[in-house]
Amino acid sequence: MSAPFCPEPSRESSKSSSNTYNLRRHTYHGPTTGVQPDDTPTPADLALQEHRVTRPTSRDVATAAGVSQATVSLVLGDKWRGRVSERTAAHVRETATELGYRPNLAARNLRLGSTRTALLVVPALTNEFFARVYTGAARIAAQHGFGVVLYPSPDGTGPARDPFASARAALDGVIASSMAAHALDAIADAALPLVMLDSDPTAGRAAAHVNLAMADGMRQVTEHLLTLGHRRFLHLASAVDSWTFDIRADALATLLTPHAELRTVRAPLTVTDARTAMEAALAAPGSRPTAVVCDDDILAAGTCKAARRLGLRIPDDLSVTGIDDLALATAVEPELTTVHLPAERVGEQGMAALLAVLEGTPWTAPDIPVDLIVRASTGPAPA
């Protein structure tokens, strides 16, 4: 039997239709006498060739929509507001969809000097709050043709390896939580726009800030507990060095100083560490606190475990509050009184602020409101 015959296309066919003939190598395995191998492209080859030939361009969209290519670029680049009517923009988008047009993002990014990509720097996503922040940021980014790359610090808090060394050229800007601020040291000379979340608004490093009304959240907590008759307070504070926790401590101390006793204990942000810290604090000599104000729901869950181990009833012997309103808040028993933080809105405003900065528009917005959610972990102070 003869060796398999593999035909080679002619030079002319190579020049004119090399894509077609090079899609696959046709090998003939039968007898060679009087039989020629089949070089006919398969249906898949033809479909791929037709796709390559007929893939619509922005010019096709413009022609079909009866507008200029510049208008198509404005609409599909989400820069049409104030330049093109809503009716025209909707017509262009509908036409592009009907034609199956997809912009060549690589070419557009090269032309504009933009990757339409933002980096979100947060602590590890084991914390539900920051997963929600990402959801909000990604939602607004998608509406404007942007993508969001996530960079959590490896240990959740504290210094992280330089997240920008390999990514600087592929980023348009950065959104970062104050809890991951140590990861930002490398950005000082990177000339990337920076939006800070839940951070000191007087710091001059960031182009914009998005903050929660944390001081007002603490006001709601203290008013609730003072109304219930509590006068001996313990603040279970986060051991993380961050502006967002500093503002909580300062607000609580200011609000309680004229009215009640306040003691502070610090713990890492884990249930186990919180339980250990609170077991020691609640068993210490002296008057036991009747209310524990925790910097977040995780610390509050640890406090509840410590109270049960010591035979204390919540809220009969001890009232406990948290901050965040994570799913954990309704998983513990009794359910947790806590300050609801709208995490997705934080992410949405963070991305909106970055988009404004990239367009050269000043960003100003009031602090995002927070609300106390009263559940079963707080009650009247024991007699």
Q: What would the two tokens of residue 67 be?
A: 């507008």
pTM passes above 0.95 = no
Q: Are both 111-211+345-358 and 214-342 of the same fold? A: yes
pLDDT band at 203; cut points 50, 70, 90: confident
Give the side-chain half-sphere CA count within 13 A for 124: 10
pLDDT tens sequence across 156-185: 544 445 555 545 556 788 999 887 666 666
E-assigned strand segments in the chain: 117-122, 147-152, 173-177, 194-197, 208-210, 232-238, 261-267, 291-294, 319-324, 337-340, 371-373
* Residues 84, 70 contacting (CB under 8 angstroms): no
When the candidates are 3.40.50.1000, 3.40.50.150, 3.30.9.10, 3.40.50.2300, the CATH number that belongs to 214-342 is 3.40.50.2300
Window from 66-80, 85-99, 109-123, 141-155 with minimum mean pLDDT: 109-123
Residue ranges per domain, the chain?
11-107, 111-211+345-358, 214-342
Q: Could you give the 3-state DSSP secondary structure of residue 220?
A: helix
CATH hierarchy code of domain 11-107: 1.10.260.40
Whose CA is closest to 98, among 109, 107, 90?
A: 90
What's the whole-number mean pLDDT along residues 217-244? 96
* N- to C-terminal Cα separation, the chain: 103
Q: Give pLDDT, residue 7.
A: 39
Q: What would the two tokens of residue 219 be?
A: 């006001």
pLDDT at 10 over 90: no
Between 40 and 273, whose confidence is greater?
A: 273
121 DSSP 8-state letter: E
pLDDT tens sequence across 72-81: 888 887 777 8
Q: Give pLDDT, residue 116.
A: 83
* Residues 151, 121 contacting (CB under 8 angstroms): yes
* Residues 194, 207 contacting (CB under 8 angstroms): yes
pLDDT at 19 over 70: no
Identify the CATH class of 111-211+345-358: alpha beta
Q: Could you give the 3-state DSSP secondary structure of residue 373?
A: strand
Count of Cβ atoms closer than 10 Å to residue 147 Cβ? 13
Whose CA is closest to 140, among 353, 366, 370?
A: 353
Per-residue CA distances from 21 to 5, 13, 25, 37, 53 (Å): 15, 8, 8, 14, 15
